[in-house]
């Protein structure tokens, strides 16, 4: 029987706006409503929660604790919202030092929440840190601030882990932490043991990486601290249902985790704009369970032998055979 | 002296939200505030206005008329908002016939506004008409409804023009009217004289077209009814300042218009998320004026001769010489 | 038992050069050697052959006939090589009228071969017809010549079918026949009954289309005359093994064919640069047979019901269930 | 008067084949013919030469020396051909240790040529090192071999510099050295002072980087040893004329070099498949000279001030003003 734990960002159960449907794709939901929806998903046991807490209103910690408890959920990470209006020109790299300070403070507050919930990490997704136009920024300065901002947090909170979720772009036209290699380069510069990567399968895919290769590289640097999955058409962060477009590369990604003995939560980062949140999560987790079984079926030795000679056809046939249940 | 008229979508002067900065990139603005900003742009004389009128509140027609008048602006088109929450699964192609009816009614209301303002057209941008996932839709049905929906509007309003602004994707993962050729194919099917294309330079570019070729094709079908410009990195509809990334293809686009004797407003469809609206518009129009002068300088005969032999180097040298003012 | 016929371009069994490995990825092969390799593939019964015959030397028709016969193969189409050095600036659109005439003659010679082999069509892949640079060509002229060139062939050979294989780009930076809609627009203009589309799954995919949607559109215009499959990473025509990256969209594509009652050969257009030709073909056909069985399992009524409400999750679950053999 | 030196890869003056025009886009040229063409370009003073020497035949060193001398050319780098048939599955990462040894030996031979010509570096472009299919390779092993292979060369030749020219893909579907950050990560691992990056503007662009940012990052690591320029449509390595598509980002790239005091040759890496080699080079260098003059005009202080506040519009206006010669 599988002991694999599954998780999701709590925003999976929110409703969304975009620049066109400014009235939102559904009525707003409170955090407690989101948690109660998460609780309806089969096999979901952990969530990542934004901070300040989403959904408006003044929700108290005891209320959240109770909602989590009654739904059998625990918290894996806290994601400070360092990408709202005030941070439109960046959090760690904002031209205004006062706003950089504010970002630091918000992340430190998020760190307190990590301690409260007994979570694993503060998740940093600096979506507004980057640039839009040619000539807009001093690239040395932007990168320096990107690295220093995270390093400072890590040294302020040596008891906690910080994970950086890199992404090529959106909402900025280009994000500073845009790829696995760039992020590792920055982390190596920081020289802190408690900073790692949260690898988003879809970000890796649409950034032109092989997610399996990206995972291996992060593991080999001892920095793969977390991950989440979804899918897209390789051109944008569509946050579609995991495996709905790229099931084979998803399988290779999880195979990479298993062969390295990487154990951790398999998380979802999906945005069901027009779909039912619970059904969307169930569909994804259902497929992840198929992948689990396929990993059990996969002949690792034969696959490694095929890889030793770069025999793409043999390797693909083995992978297909396991995944498609022949 | 140039007699070229310049225009902009009124949303150029709005503030925006996206799925991350849900609190918006700036405080909301009323329609009148947007018009007053548009009035500050040098050389802007026409605007395209969303309907229902944006910016909230119950703004009366006389108030809008007065705001336009004091800013020396007239209206070129009305854009019905057939892409908000209720139309999340499509306007013309919504699975719910009641919502399809509602979309039709909203467009007919927009047609009345066109008459009120003495504008040129109803602009249809069916951004939610399409699909997200493999297997999600019956493609025959979706396309049939896309074509019939517009044809119905055209026959209901034979005194007016309707323009379709195609776009590859966003907010749907794939839009029905995704390219110039697809849109022309649909328009030919409709068999109505009063349906044409509004060609958005950026949509064409990131859809993998050459905007100059797309313009020529629409012109050759007698269907280029309008256009707007902006720029992007060819992977997404970034709606950046016109000419900020692709000045040479922008120049080729306008050259195509001029050599065909196409006369109409040069419009902006830019989204200055983090920039000053007025400065952004001025920067773009300033560059468009450079293009105007470059067109005057360009040696059309020499260029045509180079094209006759597909001499890319000679053609490029001529274009560069004119555009960069050597 | 399946009666589905499988085919391949004979170039699947060639060796290749590119601009770097100018000495080729393998020793050159004669046409007869290619045919003998094709004969080794399980379940392959038809081939598409380039003309002039590839592989060098003066191979006689009786020799080819014999080779085909001993391998149990018949010919589905002939592909004239209108994309070699002399046609570097186009076949139908070449600036030199003499070369345009030469292209026409070569295609007429190919038509004779179609008659000789009792094949279905002349396949036109005008890979050099298009442009590379901004300002390089007169777009009206290029498109006019593209359409007229094919129309002329069709009227010269009313007893035969001509299929156009569109593709976004390569080797030109942009091809004239770049998409399903553009090609249909051209075909409609020709007004000939014997011109249709050969839809290459991979071309459609990396051109930003949904191949299922493209197939439906071509079918609805009565112009889907042929097809072939392969796979890629959506950014280039990688011609990888069918289903190796996008199995779900491939399944949707074949579902579209079946539900429309489209019957024809399922062909491969793969380029095994570094792989064994026969194993590559077997791997692909093996997966296509899985798709055949999955189509038998798929609940068409339930799927159509889900599509009627655009229920992406239900539709995906149904498709996955059938394809992955749950 | 400008003292800037200009260079080109000698392959700029070759003719090319691709997988379709297998008879080549022109008659083959000898190395001496290529050098004589290079000599016709105005202001070209240095070349990068492939090794083994291209163009066939047994060309002697004295013959090459003489050809260079009479054309006023010197050699900046030697590019070993570690991407031909024998290396189809990789040079440094080939599954066959014998072929890995062969690659090492070829690079050591190239090193001798660097010494002979008094050139600056051996240029490594491991275009076949990577993978094509999911599951094809052991990513840890491929990266390990990639890093070790270059490190070994550097330690074998401590008197010379080695530059790695990274590229996202082609001919492999994915290259190991795919980005500036990945390459820097590998170089840091090597711990050798004599390994750096040759930054190809086009590779950076179509890999989703900002070339200016990539250059700054390489400079900040002390590893920008060389560069070359060209242009493309951001989706493929089109190797078009520099500035023909992205003049503004090209300008930002050179501005980055100048503000960092980076001095070196401005090289071309263009592939004029269908164009005249000399005219193509002249067109590019002509535009690079415009950039030189624009850099002289550009108000660095005003630009830095705009960047300090991330004022995209002001920065763009300054850059445009200088580049377009207002």
Structural domain includes residue D183: yes
* Structure tokens that stand for A302 in this block: 């034969």
Residues above pLDDT 70, as percent of chain D: 99
| Alpha-carbon separation of residue A241 from A32, A250, B97, C244, D321 (angstroms) | 23, 11, 28, 19, 47
For position D217, which CATH number holds?
Answer: 3.20.20.150
Pairing of strands A44-51, A74-80: parallel
Instruction: Name the DSSP letter for residue B53.
Output: P
Distinct helix (H) and strand (E) counts, chain D = 11, 10
Splitting chain C (326 residues) into consecutive groups of 10 residues, what average pLDDT does each group show? Answer: 90 98 96 98 98 91 98 98 98 98 98 98 98 98 98 98 98 98 98 98 98 98 98 98 98 98 98 98 98 97 98 98 86
Helix (H) or strand (E) holding D225: strand D224-229
pLDDT for the residue numbered C239: 98
Those chains having 3 or more beta-carbon pairs within 8 angstroms of chain A are B, C, D
Q: Would the CB atoms of D220 and A90 count as touching at under 8 Å?
A: no
Q: In this structure, is residue D321 part of a structural domain? A: no
- Which residues of chain C does D19 touch, with a Cβ-Cβ cutoff of 8 Å? 16-18, 271
Q: Is residue C197 part of a domain?
A: yes
Q: Do C85 and D238 touch (CB under 8 A)?
A: no
Inter-chain touch C246–A244, beta carbons under 8 Å: no
Q: Please provide the average confidence, as pLDDT, over all residues in chain B.
A: 97
Subunit contact B18:A21, Cβ cutoff 8 A? no
Domain that holds residue C41: 6-298
Chain D: touching chains (3 or more CB pairs < 8 Å): A, B, C
Is B244 in contact with D316 (Cβ distance < 8 A)? yes
Under an 8 Å CB criterion, which residues of C touch D? 16-26, 83-85, 88-89, 127-128, 132-134, 169-171, 173, 233, 235-236, 238, 240-241, 244-245, 271, 273-274
Chain C residues within 8 A of D280 when measuring between CB atoms: none
Residue D312 lies in a domain: no
Contact D235 C235 (CB under 8 A): yes
Residue of B nearest to A133 (CA): B244
Q: Could you give the maximum distance between any two Cα atoms of chain A, in Å?
A: 60
Select from B20, B173, B236 the Cβ nearest to the Cβ of A127.
Answer: B20
- B90, B220, B248 ranked by CB distance to C140: nearest: B220
Give C134 to chain D, closest Cα distance, Å.
8
Q: Nearest Cβ partner of B85 from A23, A88, A173?
A: A23
Q: Is B127 inside a domain boundary?
A: yes
Look at residue A182 and give its three-state secondary structure: helix
- Position B137 pLDDT exceeds 90: yes
Residue pLDDT, tens place only, D150-166 = 999 999 999 999 999 99
Average pLDDT over residues D15-24: 96
Model pLDDT, residue A326: 56
Q: Which residues of D touch B207 (CB under 8 A)?
A: none
- Dist. CA D264–CA D6, nearest whole Å: 9
Q: Which residue of B has its CA nearest to D319?
A: B244
Q: Which residues contact C28 (CB under 8 A, 6 or more apart)?
A: C15, C55, C56
pLDDT for the residue numbered B1: 55
Which chain B residues touch C136 with a CB distance below 8 Å?
Answer: 307, 310-312, 315-316
Q: How far is C100 from chain D (nearest CA, A)?
A: 17
Of C19, C132, C274, the CB nearest to D274: C132
Residue D1, pLDDT > 60, answer no
* Residue D324 within a domain: no
Query: Which of A244, A248, A325 is the closest to C316 by Cβ?
Result: A244
Phi-psi map region of D106: left, alpha, beta (phi>0 left; psi -120 to 50 alpha): alpha
Between the CA of residue B325 and those of A189, B294, B297, D33, what are the distances in Å?
46, 7, 9, 36
Q: Which residues of C touch B213 (CB under 8 A)?
A: 139, 142-143, 174
Does residue D95 fall inside a structural domain? Answer: yes
Q: How many residues does chain B have?
A: 326
Q: H/E/C letters for each residue in A121-179? A: EEEECCCCCEECCCCCCCHHHHHHHHHHHHHHHHHHCCCCEEEECCCCCCCCCEECCCC
Which residue from C96, C217, C92, C76 is spatially nearest to C153, judged by alpha carbons? C92
Cβ-defined contact of C326 to A324 (cutoff 8 Å): no
Distance in Å, alpha carbon of C299 to nearest chain A alpha carbon: 18
The tens place of each residue's pLDDT in chain A, 326 residues long, gives 578 999 999 999 999 999 999 999 999 999 999 999 999 999 999 999 999 999 887 899 999 999 999 999 999 999 999 999 999 999 999 999 999 999 999 999 999 999 999 999 999 999 999 999 999 999 999 999 999 999 999 999 999 999 999 999 999 999 999 999 999 999 999 999 999 999 999 999 999 999 999 999 999 999 999 999 999 999 999 999 999 999 999 999 999 999 999 999 999 999 999 999 999 999 999 999 999 999 999 999 999 999 999 999 999 999 999 999 75
Q: Of B287, B314, B317, which has the smallest distance from its Cβ to D320's Cβ?
A: B287
Q: Is B49 strand, coil or helix?
A: strand
Q: Is residue C303 part of a domain?
A: no
**pLDDT value of position A1:** 55
Nearest CA in chain A to C250: A245
**pLDDT the model gives residue C3:** 87
Count structural domains, chain C. Answer: 1
Q: CB neighbours of A5 closer than 8 A, spacing ≥ 6?
A: A45, A46, A265, A266
CB pairs under 8 A between A and D: 142
pLDDT of residue A56: 81
Contacts of D255 in chain A (CB under 8 A): 135
Say which of A247, A317, A323 has its CB closest to residue C248.
A247
Distance from CA of C307 to the nearest CA of B (A): 5
Here the tokens at position D251 are: 């300008």
Residues on chain C touching B133 (C-beta within 8 angstroms): 312, 315-316
Q: Identify whether the C-beta of residue B231 lies closer than 8 Å to the C-beta of residue B224.
A: no
Select from D168, D230, D232, D316 the residue whose CB has the most chain B CBs within 10 Å, as the one to mutate to test that interface.
Answer: D316
Question: Which residues of chain A lie closer than 8 angstroms to B89, CB-CB?
Answer: 274
- In angstroms, the separation between the Cα of residue D106 and the nearest Cα of chain C is 16
> pLDDT tens across B187-214, in order?
999 999 999 999 999 999 999 999 999 9
Residue B182: closest C-alpha in chain C: C181
Section B35-49 average pLDDT: 98
Q: Which residues of B touch D241 (CB under 8 A)?
A: 312-313, 316
**Residue B285's closest chain D neighbor by CA?**
D317
Q: Are C88 and D21 in contact (CB under 8 A)?
A: yes
For B83-101, write each residue's pLDDT tens digit.
Answer: 999 999 999 999 999 999 9
pLDDT value at residue A148: 98
Q: Which of B83, B89, B241 sits opposite A20 (nearest CB)?
A: B83
**Looking up tokens 């005969």, which residue turns up?**
B301
For residue B57, is pLDDT > 90? Answer: no
Say which residue the tokens 């199995």 belong to: C247
């Amino acid at each position: 029987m599988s002991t694999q734990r599954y998780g999701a960002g709590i925003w999976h159960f929110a409703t969304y706006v975009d620049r066109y449907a400014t009235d939102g794709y559904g009525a707003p939901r409170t955090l407690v409503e989101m948690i109660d929806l998460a609780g309806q998903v089969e096999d979901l046991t952990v969530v990542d929660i934004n901070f300040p807490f989403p959904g408006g209103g003044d929700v108290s910690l005891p209320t959240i604790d109770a909602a989590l408890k009654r739904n059998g959920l625990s918290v894996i990470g806290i994601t400070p919202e360092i990408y709202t209006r005030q941070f439109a020109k960046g959090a760690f790299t904002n031209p205004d030092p006062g706003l950089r300070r504010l970002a630091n403070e918000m992340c430190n507050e998020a760190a307190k929440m990590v301690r409260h919930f007994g979570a694993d990490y503060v998740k940093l997704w600096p979506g507004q840190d980057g640039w839009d136009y040619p000539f807009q920024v001093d690239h040395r300065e932007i990168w320096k601030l990107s690295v220093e901002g995270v390093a400072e947090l890590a040294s302020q909170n040596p008891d906690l882990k910080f994970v950086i979720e890199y992404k090529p772009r959106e909402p900025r036209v280009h994000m500073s932490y845009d790829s696995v290699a760039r992020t590792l380069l920055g982390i190596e510069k920081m020289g802190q043991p408690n900073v790692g990567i949260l690898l988003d399968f879809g970000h890796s895919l649409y950034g032109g990486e092989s997610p399996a290769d990206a995972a291996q590289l992060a593991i080999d640097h001892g920095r793969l601290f977390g991950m989440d999955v979804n899918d897209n058409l390789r051109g944008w962060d569509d946050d579609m249902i995991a495996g709905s477009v790229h099931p084979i590369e998803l399988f290779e990604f999880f195979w990479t985790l298993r062969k390295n003995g990487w154990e951790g939560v398999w998380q979802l980062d999906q945005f069901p704009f027009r779909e039912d949140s619970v059904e969307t999560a169930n569909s994804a987790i259902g497929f992840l369970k198929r992948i689990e079984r396929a990993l059990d079926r996969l002949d690792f030795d034969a696959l490694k032998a095929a890889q030793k000679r770069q025999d793409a056809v043999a390797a693909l046939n083995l992978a297909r055979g396991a995944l498609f249940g022949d």
